[in-house]
Structure 1
Amino acid sequence: MEDEKNLEAIMGLIMNAGNAKSDAMEAIHAAKAGDFTLADQKVADAEQALVLAHHSQTGMLTQEAQGNHVPVTLLTVHSQDHLMTAIAFCDLAKEIIDLYRRLDEK
């Protein structure tokens, strides 16, 4: 049962981090097209997906802190990689959108 719970958390990390990255990419494309309302909405969607990913991660960290060892598998490492990449991508997307916004104002 514990393995199934861990797999669910890991897959939640991968899925939500992937959604965040996709939303951030869509936000960049919207800003490039001059649709800043959509860009802002997609950034908000990306941030919400990151919150969901963090919930999955927090569950695993809480379990570990309570003394229930979470086995570190390649899939676990992969999920953490997805999360960190998505966070960095979302941060960069916000900067790129800001640049497009500034160009649009000129």
Structure 2
Amino acid sequence: MSDEQIIFNVIVCAGNARAKAFAALEAAKKGDFNSASSLLSEAAEEILKAHEIQNKLISREANGEGMNVTLLLAHAEDHLMAAILAKDLISEMIDLYKINSKGDD
């Protein structure tokens, strides 16, 4: 697999994670906290996949098999960090929705 294909896999996983996190937020808005929790778990799995790819790239570099730092690689890292941040913030927002929904009882 080429370096570009490996990098695109990070972008795909990060995009999937971000989409799942925002779907979780939508579920929470509707009061469907079971779906929200499940979707957040799926987002976490996608982030883990991206991290595993990232760790392989770091290991390669540590073993002297570095790759050129390209705009595409920087773009992938940006996507991954944005997905992680989105998931973390959305998790907190869902907790707030849960607290707010208890006040409606």
TM-based fold match above 0.5 = yes
Which whole-Å CA distance do the structure 2 matches of 1:47 and 1:63 have between them? 24
**Large movers: runs of 4+ above 6 Å:** none
Which whole-Å CA distance do the structure 1 matches of 2:5 and 2:53 have between them? 8
**Residue identity in the other structure for 1:81:** D
Deviation at 1:8, TM superposition (A): 2.2
From 81, 84, 104, give the equivalent of 2:101.
104
Report % sequence identity: 40
RMSD (Å), alpha carbons? 0.9
Query: Unaligned 5+ residue runs, structure 1?
Result: none
Query: Unaligned 5+ residue runs, structure 2?
Result: none
1:30 corresponds in structure 2 to 27
Kindly indicate whether residue 35 of structure 2 is the aligned counterpart of residue 21 of structure 1.
Answer: no
TM-score normalised by length of structure 2: 0.95
Which whole-Å CA distance do the structure 2 matches of 1:103 and 1:89 have between them? 21
TM-score normalised by length of structure 1: 0.94
Residues matched between the structures, number: 103
Note if contact 1:20-1:47 (Cα within 8 Å) is conserved in structure 2: yes
Which whole-Å CA distance do the structure 2 matches of 1:32 and 1:15 have between them? 26
Kindly indicate whether residue 70 of structure 2 is the aligned counterpart of residue 73 of structure 1.
Answer: yes
Deviation digits for residues 25-74 of structure 1 (CA, Å, limit 9, x no counterpart): 00000000000000000000000000000011011101000001211010
Partner-residue secondary structure (3-state), 2:67: coil
Kindly indicate whether residue 40 of structure 2 is the aligned counterpart of residue 54 of structure 1.
Answer: no
From 77, 82, 94, give the equivalent of 2:79.
82
Which whole-Å CA distance do the structure 2 matches of 1:58 and 1:69 have between them? 13
